[in-house]
Amino acid sequence: MCGIVGYVGDKEATPILVNALKKLEYRGYDSAGIAVLSDESLVVRKAKGALKFLERLIATEIIRGTMGIGHTRWATHGEPSDVNSHPHTDVAGKIAVVHNGIIENHAKLKEWLSSRGVTFRSQTDTEVIAHLIDFHYDDGDIVKAVIETLKRLEGSYALAVICESEPDRIVAVRKDSPLVVGSG
């Protein structure tokens, strides 16, 4: 289990994401994290342990931005740690992903990506998704890049994906994991 959340709108995303993670905290106490598009760059903050450690981490900074994603983790691949916390990003930190589920063919995908020069930071199954999206993000269409990536994933997932160069757009997809979209 894990809890994922995303917000895009005209309000400050950070407090909305943290509040939403409070509601989803029961889904995983191993770590919590957020990625917010702030001044055209992704700001990623994550911390091992319960949500309160993330709250402490960001207590003294103001992360402005009206789009972001968040995660509360129940680890399946990779121990609970700061580095294994979600969101995970591509090498350049321009694409961020949160994931609920298990990517069963992650080892094979990791090998393939490593042979193309990708250096992995975490031990999670999830990180392959961020790198694959980057690999398919050749013509600047994040939806297309996610669709191409999904063709290569085996397992279960609910994903929320944001990309630095596509503000106002969260890509959310699911297979065998729950996901709810609200508009208001």
100: β partners: 158
Angstrom distance (rounded) from CA 62 to CA 22: 19
The letter for the amino acid at 106 is H
Query: CA–CA separation, 122 vs 149, rounded Å?
Result: 19
Q: Quote the least distance from Cβ 127 to ligand GLU, whole Å.
A: 9
Work out the angle at residue 25's Cα, subtended by the Cα atoms of residues 55 and 85, and round it to the nearest 5 degrees. 65
Instruction: Rule CB under 6 A: say whether 75 interacts with ligand GLU.
Output: yes
Are β-strands 155-163 and 171-175 bridged in parallel, bridged antiparallel, or unpaired?
antiparallel
Binding of ligand GLU by 94 (CB under 6 A): no
Among 66, 72, 89, 126, binds ligand GLU (CB under 6 A): 126
State the DSSP string of 64-85: --SEEEEEEE--SSS-SSTTTS
Nearer to ligand GLU, 36 or 153 (CB): 153
Q: Which stretch binds ligand GLU (CB under 6 A): 12-20, 72-80, 113-121, 140-148?
A: 72-80
Q: Which amino acid is at 25?
A: E
Between 14 and 100, whose beta carbon lies closer to ligand GLU? 100
- Least Å distance, CB 106 to ligand GLU, is 8
Per DSSP, the residues of 135-172 read: HH-SSS-HHHHHHHHHTT--EEEEEEEEETTSTT--EE
Q: How far is the CB of 9 from ligand GLU (least distance, A)?
A: 25
User: Cβ 1 to ligand GLU, closest distance in Å?
Assistant: 5
The 95-124 site mask, x for binding ligand GLU (CB under 6 A), equals ----xxxx---------------------x
Between 1 and 30, how does the x/- string for binding to ligand GLU read (CB under 6 A)? xx----------------------------
Q: Which is nearer to ligand GLU, 66 or 131 (CB)?
A: 131
